[in-house]
Amino acid sequence: MPKAKPDAARLIERVRRICTALPACTERLSHGEPTFFAGKKVFAMISNNHHNDGHIAVWVPAKAGMQELLIEEAPAIFYRPPYVGCKGWVGVELANIGEDQLGAMLREAWRLMAPSKLTHGSPARPAGD
């Protein structure tokens, strides 16, 4: 695995901090990268220069039709990731997105993938956020 860029660890830690504050979130390595689960479903996958593509990003599911809109409106932040892009997921460039927007994206991804017993009555927002 290629060595991470110097700020990659800091950028990835932002994702980890937000994700692990969500209810029932677990983190495991999948395909060599930190991956975050809501129950048994993946809701966020780190892409740390995957196959030397230059992206330090997180891949998340998006609501139907949102992938294209996000990429069109902010191509410096959003892109269509390999493998899961065909399923509507979006890549998020971590160096180009603010903390509030990243948090909102990750909470929405969690909500989309979490089992209904976790999301029922939950705004997908940890206490104090």
Judge whether 12 lies within some domain: yes
The band of 19, judged by pLDDT with boundaries at 50, 70 and 90, is very high
Number of domains in the chain: 1
The CATH code of the domain that includes 55 is 3.90.1150.30
Residues in the chain: 129
Instruction: Quote the percentage of the chain above a pLDDT of 70.
Output: 88
**Which domain covers residue 64, as residue numbers?**
8-116
The band of 121, judged by pLDDT with boundaries at 50, 70 and 90, is low
Measured CA to CA, the distance from residue 14 to residue 103 in angstroms comes to: 9
- Least Cα distance to 103 among 76, 73, 123, 83 occurs for 123
pLDDT digits (tens, 9 = 90+) for 66-76: 999 999 999 99
Judge whether 99 lies within some domain: yes
pLDDT digits (tens, 9 = 90+) for 74-99: 999 999 999 999 999 999 999 999 99
Mean pLDDT of 27-45: 95
Cβ pair 20, 51 in contact under 8 A? no
Judge whether 128 lies within some domain: no
Judge whether 104 lies within some domain: yes
Give the 3-state secondary structure of residue 8.
helix
Judge whether 69 lies within some domain: yes
